[in-house]
A and B are shown apart, each in its own frame.
Chain A
Amino acid sequence: DTAVSQTPKYLVTQMGNDKSIKCEQNLGHDTMYWYKQDSKKFLKIMFSYNNKELIINETVPNRFSPKSPDKAHLNLHINSLELGDSAVYFCASSQTGGPFYEQYFGPGTRLTVT
């Protein structure tokens, strides 16, 4: 049983294209996240939704737009892809309530922009 799943796993596309990455969690968590891990392996948060409401929106270009149709799904749409967008994008989820909430990550989507 996959807890946090992402599709696609690999995405190769050309500059200027628009693409989407989908994420679903079956853990019953109320909060979901998108992270970007670049070539230097630094994992940085991009967005977070709690019960479909945006609660974290880091300094990310407007070309990135998250959408949460329900609390089990958080999709990421990227417009006008640039070379610098090449990275691994991880979705994660957690359950709020108390300081020790833990995040569970999906397998990642490896995006390559050519």
Chain B
Amino acid sequence: RKEVEQDPGPFNVPEGATVAFNCTYSNSASQSFFWYRQDCRKEPKLLMSVYSSGNEDGRFTAQLNRASQYISLLIRDSKLSDSATYLCVVNMDYKLSFGAGTTVTVRA
């Protein structure tokens, strides 16, 4: 079983729509969690850390469910610029494990 699994998508949504997707992780002792964004042929960039109580950053909301070992990301009011691959990332003892990414395409 992979350490981090994500629905690869693609999620193809119109501007202004809400899109949400999850990832699951296998190691219950994982310590911290992140969503990274990667544009085509670019480096991953930190989108947001995911806190136990859930957190929001503008149009982005992240949730963590430790009991079920999944993390979610919700994007409200999608913009064309949100088109990217979203990487679910789990930290265990200095080591980040990356999911393969969920591709989101926002169309005009």
Contact = CB atoms under 8 A, between A and B. Distances in A.
A107 B38 CA distance: 11
Interface string A84-114: 0000001000001001111111111000000
Interface of A: 31, 40-45, 48, 50, 55-56, 90, 96, 99-108
Interface residues of B, number: 19
Interface of B: 31-32, 34, 42-46, 49, 85, 87, 91, 94-98, 100-101
Contacts of B46: 102-104
A47 to B, nearest CB: 11
Contacts of A105: 43-45
Given A40-B100, A102-B49, A45 B43 contact: no
